[in-house]
């Protein structure tokens, strides 16, 4: 891909995010001029850079959105949610296009049609179906392009207009050079202008030697008595290419007598004095120059570059007519423009040409796979380092050299520190703020809220908490389900809220805090809450629980039922959630990450859901135990405690070994039996039991011996072992042994079957 295009795509992604965020923010604080400006500027930049490429639909659509935003910025109309919807939709469409561009370097075939619909919608609030808004010169001012009009005719007309105290409408129409390809015939358009009085042609200063017959190099200036509406309608598709000036006899007379000082200024509307625009124009020129040096072929491309240059020159107040899209002239023009125009006042402004395109070079964009590989290597280094203590012991015991052993241990200590630092550094690279996972939510809440007619305000705190990118990425889906469920089932319509004495606008809070090596994400709404009685009834109706269970369940356990697959409390199934894939998907998603979900609810007062997630999934802490002489790993997250109890204290209830611990009866599973390992328990010895919490239940695992905890790099089971569900993966230990890490949920299932 062309480097310039790649850069455009990367920038566009950022700009689109900026626009999205800005628009949502605007809904909360309508009319904030700073915000409107930000959004407008982002849209404007996007439009500007899109002009460098041959994506006319993209440019036209952004232009329409930009015009709407401009009108809002100028205070001509307030931004209502309908308009916001349209603007958001427009940029969503563009986002889709850019994805297509990334793949195929072209817009999808449906682009023109899709754009047309949206453009019409965007244009409606700012003056009907008139497509690109024609530039109108302020009344009384004389545009410089009047110079193209035949002076004799002007003089005669001026006299007549003065006598009759009437006005004449002057229009400059400069079709873009590719217009013939789109089936446009400018002369045919002009022919249709009612009451056309005079026509003049704008020729290029110099005709190119070998000009392309299909490039439109000329423009027109015409005078007519047609109404503004008529002109606007005729030129509705090329409104950005015309400029209209209403002149009376006096104005023309003043112009003819040479008072053109004012007029020349008008020639470049909105020029020169806006440093932002100048900065942007210069950036466009620099980009164009870059494009010219890298890609000097392709006439369509050259034409787009030429257009970009013309636009930029216009903004710089130094208009040029580029009628000859060839590399040499264009390069010369750009160089001249860049040389002539002083950089704007603020030299630190981003995109200023002086940076030479070095903006952002402090941040390195790295392929994710490379970081993953680095992570893996750092893990391997840790494992390799862990073999040194074994070597030290061997040196001491087998070779009898205590000195050597000591030196190896010293080396190990140094290596350990570096390896740990390295791992921490790599982990840090992979860390992302939770705001990445939260980014989609404001938009979703807004859209859903509007669809359901519910007013919802989102309050996010602690979104700068960091977590591993795998966790962040995997968190997106559960959060989405939570939002849907909350809006669909939790949050009441405004009327119901008011009746219950709550503010009409519901509040969803999202709070993230770091908790040791875990992240807690609290999601809460102040909706109607979950009614345990209703949950019980629904679960019973759906056959998820039996009649006895439905009576014996505590309220807390009843609430937990909503995480069961196939449960949905919405009385009517909506297309948002309520397809029975809501909360169980949340729990499944979070548990897959090695996290937990808990729910608290107060009927009428809201629901709060706490997600507890590991900070990182790359390194797992496991507790090593041995069973039947072989070592196994148990994820430390699940281990509550490890106890030794005398053999005699293990009782038996209903064919199940149990142990009573601080008054609590805990079932005990003999791992050796479940895993079919040979086991010769010493009848007199104490029993070693790991107490683990699995799916909210405490269970004891009878093992032979406890070992230490280790950090391991868990590799999933592959190949021949892929079927072995009772293991969640393998890890390499420092002494070269392979450790099988148990998947306790499956192991307990297996235990139940072995009985």
Nearest distance, CB of residue 17 and other proteins, angstroms: 36
Q: What is d(CA 682, CA 687) in angstroms, rounded to the nearest whole number? A: 9
If one counts every other C-beta atom within 10 angstroms of the C-beta of residue 270, the result is 11
- DSSP for 87-143 reads HHHHHHHHHHHHHHHHHHSS--TTHHHHHHHHHHHHHGGGTTT--SPPEEPPTT---
Give me the least distance between CB of 165 and other proteins, in Å please: 26
If you write DSSP's letter for every residue of 381-442 in order, what string do you get?
HHHHHHHHHHHHHHHHHTS--HHHHHHHHHHHHHHHHHHHHHHHHHHHHHEEETHHHHTTHH
Closest to other proteins by CB, 143 or 594: 143
Distance between CA atoms of residues 537 and 528, nearest Å? 17
Alpha helices in 593-733 (DSSP H): 671-674
Residue 534's closest CA among 501, 511, 558? 558
Looking at the Cβ atoms of 320 and 570, the one nearer to other proteins is 320
Q: How many C-beta neighbours within 10 Å does residue 558 have?
A: 21
97 vs 170, beta carbon nearer other proteins: 170
Nearer to other proteins, 90 or 315 (CB): 315
Closest to other proteins by CB, 268 vs 427, is 268
In whole angstroms, the minimum distance from the beta carbon of 190 to other proteins comes to 8
Task: List beta partners, residue 694.
Answer: 697
Crossing angle of helices 3-28 and 81-104, rounded to 10°: 160
CA count, 13 A, side-chain hemisphere, 544? 19
- Closer CB to other proteins, 269 or 360, in the complex: 269
Q: Is 464 exposed, middle or buried (0-12, 13-18, 19+ CB in 10 A)?
A: exposed
Least distance (Å) between residue 151 CB and other proteins = 6
CB atoms within 10 A of CB 575: 8
CB of 456 to other proteins, least distance (A): 50
H or E segment and range at residue 186 = helix 186-191
Q: Taking CA 436 as the corner, what is the angle to CA 433 and CA 440, rounded to the nearest 5 degrees?
A: 150
Question: What's the closest the beta carbon of residue 137 comes to other proteins, in angstroms?
Answer: 12
Q: At closest approach, how far in Å is the CB of 308 from other proteins?
A: 16
What span, in angstroms and rounded, lies between the C-alpha atoms of 299 and 458? 50
Residue 169 Cβ vs other proteins, minimum distance, rounded to whole Å: 15
Cα angle, residue 290 at apex, residues 284 and 292 outer, rounded to 5°: 105
Nearest-approach distance from CB 171 to other proteins, in angstroms: 13
Nearer to other proteins, 180 or 567 (CB): 180
Question: What angle is formed at CA 256 by the lines to CA 252 and CA 261, rounded to 5 degrees?
Answer: 90
Q: Cα–Cα distance between 697 and 376 in angstroms, integer?
A: 34
We find the least distance from the C-beta atom of residue 213 to other proteins, in angstroms, to be: 4
- 109-443-614 Cα angle (round to 5): 110
Phi, psi of 729 (to 5 degrees): 165, 180
Name the residue nearer to other proteins (CB basis): 316 or 659. 316
Measured distance CA(507)–CA(458) in Å, rounded? 6
Strand, helix or coil at 276?
Answer: helix
Q: In what order do the strands lie in the sheet with 596-602?
A: 456-461, 506-515, 518-525, 606-614, 596-602
Q: Are strands 506-515 and 456-461 parallel, antiparallel or unpaired?
A: parallel
The token duo for 509 is 């809070």
- Residue nearer to other proteins on the CB measure, 271 or 607: 271
Q: Which is nearer to other proteins, 224 or 441 (CB)?
A: 224
- Say how many residues make up the chain: 755
**Would you give the DSSP letter of residue 105?**
S
CB of 60 to other proteins, least distance (A): 21
CB 15 within 8 A of CB 42: yes
The span from the CA of 671 to the CA of 746, in Å, is 12
- H-helix or E-strand containing 188? helix 186-191
As measured in angstroms, the least distance from the Cβ of 258 to other proteins is: 10
Query: Closest CB to other proteins among 265 and 443?
Result: 265
**Minimum distance, C-beta of residue 10 to other proteins, in the bound complex (Å):** 33
Measured distance CA(743)–CA(687) in Å, rounded: 22
For other proteins, the closer of residues 237 and 540 by Cβ is 237
CB 141, min distance to other proteins, A: 14
Give least dist CB 256 to other proteins, A. Answer: 10
CA atoms of 159 and 68, how far apart (whole Å): 40
Q: How far apart are the first and last CA of the chain?
A: 62
By beta-carbon proximity to other proteins, the closer residue of 22 and 143 is 143
Q: Which is nearer to other proteins, 203 or 686 (CB)?
A: 203
The binding site for other proteins (CB under 8 A) comprises: 143-148, 150-151, 175, 180, 183, 185-188, 191, 196, 198-203, 205, 207, 211, 213-214, 216-218, 222, 260, 264, 267-268, 314, 319-321
Q: Which is nearer to other proteins, 219 or 462 (CB)?
A: 219
Give me the sign of the Cα torsion angle 374, 377, 379, 385.
negative
Kindly state the smallest distance separating residue 331's Cβ from other proteins, in Å. Answer: 21
Q: Which is nearer to other proteins, 201 or 513 (CB)?
A: 201
């Amino acid at each position: 891909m062309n480097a310039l295009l790649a850069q455009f795509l990367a920038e566009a992604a950022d700009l689109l995010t900026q626009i999205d965020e800005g628009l949502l923010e605007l809904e909360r604080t309508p009319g904030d001029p700073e915000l409107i400006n930000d959004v407008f500027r982002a849209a404007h930049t996007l439009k500007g850079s899109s002009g460098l490429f041959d994506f006319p639909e993209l440019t036209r659509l952004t232009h329409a959105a930009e015009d709407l935003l401009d009108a809002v910025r100028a205070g001509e109309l307030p931004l209502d949610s309908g308009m916001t919807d349209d603007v958001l939709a427009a940029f969503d469409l563009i986002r889709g296009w850019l994805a297509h561009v990334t793949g195929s370097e072209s817009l999808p075939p449906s682009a023109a049609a899709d754009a047309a619909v949206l453009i019409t919608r965007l244009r409606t609030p700012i003056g009907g179906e008139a497509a690109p808004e024609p530039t109108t010169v302020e009344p009384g001012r004389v545009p410089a392009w009047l110079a193209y009009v035949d002076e004799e005719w002007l003089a005669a007309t001026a006299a007549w207009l003065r006598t009759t105290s009437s006005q004449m409408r002057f229009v400059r129409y400069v079709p873009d050079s590719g217009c013939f390809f789109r089936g446009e015939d400018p002369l045919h358009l002009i022919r249709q202008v009612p009451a056309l009085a005079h026509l003049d042609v704008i020729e290029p200063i110099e005709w190119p030697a070998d000009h392309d017959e299909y490039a439109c190099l000329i423009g027109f200036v015409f005078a007519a008595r047609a109404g503004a509406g008529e002109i606007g309608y005729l030129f509705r598709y090329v409104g950005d290419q015309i400029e209209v000036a209403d002149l009376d006899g006096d104005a023309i007379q003043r112009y003819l007598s040479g008072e053109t000082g004012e007029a020349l200024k008008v020639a470049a509307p909105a020029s020169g004095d806006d440093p932002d625009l100048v900065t942007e124009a210069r950036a466009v020129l620099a980009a164009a120059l870059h494009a010219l040096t890298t890609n000097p072929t392709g006439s369509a491309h050259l034409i787009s570059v030429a257009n970009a240059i013309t636009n930029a020159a216009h903004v710089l107040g130094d208009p040029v007519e580029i009628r000859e899209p060839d590399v040499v002239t264009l390069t010369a023009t750009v160089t001249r423009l860049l040389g002539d125009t002083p950089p704007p006042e603020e030299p630190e402004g981003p995109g200023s040409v002086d940076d030479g395109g070095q903006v952002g070079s402090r941040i390195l964009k790295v392929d994710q796979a490379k970081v993953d590989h680095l992570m893996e290597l750092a893990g391997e280094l840790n494992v390799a380092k862990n073999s040194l203590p074994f070597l030290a012991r061997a040196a001491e015991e087998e070779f009898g050299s205590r000195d050597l052993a000591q030196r190896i241990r010293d080396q190990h200590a140094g290596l350990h520190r570096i390896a740990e630092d390295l791992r921490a550094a790599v982990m840090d690279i992979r860390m992302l703020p939770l705001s990445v996972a939260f980014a989609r939510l404001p938009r979703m809440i807004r859209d859903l809220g509007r669809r359901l007619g519910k007013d919802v305000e989102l309050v996010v705190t602690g979104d700068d908490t960091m977590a591993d990118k795998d966790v962040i990425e995997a968190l997106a889906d559960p959060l989405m389900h939570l939002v849907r469920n909350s809006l669909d089932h939790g949050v009441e319509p405004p009327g119901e809220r008011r009746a219950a004495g709550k503010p009409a606008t519901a509040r969803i809070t999202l709070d993230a805090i770091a908790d040791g090596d875990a992240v807690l994400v609290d999601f809460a709404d102040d909706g109607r809450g979950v009614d345990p009685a209703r949950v019980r009834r629904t679960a019973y109706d759906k056959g998820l629980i039996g009649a006895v269970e439905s009576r014996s369940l505590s309220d807390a356990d009843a609430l937990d039922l909503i995480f069961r697959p196939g449960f949905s409390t919405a009385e009517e199934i909506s297309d948002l959630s309520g397809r029975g894939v809501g909360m169980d998907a949340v729990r499944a998603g979070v548990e897959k990450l090695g996290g937990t979900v808990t729910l608290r609810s107060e009927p009428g007062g809201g629901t709060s859901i706490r997600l507890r997630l590991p900070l990182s999934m790359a390194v797992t802490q496991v507790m090593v135990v041995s069973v039947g002489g072989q070592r196994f790993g148990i994820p430390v997250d699940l281990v509550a405690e490890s106890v030794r109890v005398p053999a005699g204290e293990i009782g038996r209830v209903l064919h199940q070994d149990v142990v009573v611990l601080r008054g609590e009866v805990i079932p005990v599973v003999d791992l050796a039996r479940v895993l079919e390992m040979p086991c010769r328990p010493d009848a007199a010895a104490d029993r070693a039991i790991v107490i683990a919490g699995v799916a909210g239940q405490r269970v004891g695992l009878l093992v032979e011996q406890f070992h230490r905890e280790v950090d391991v790099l868990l590799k999933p089971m592959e190949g021949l072992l892929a079927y072995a569900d009772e293991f969640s993966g393998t890890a390499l230990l420092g002494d070269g042994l392979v450790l099988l890490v148990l998947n306790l949920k499956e192991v307990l299932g297996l235990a139940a079957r072995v009985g």
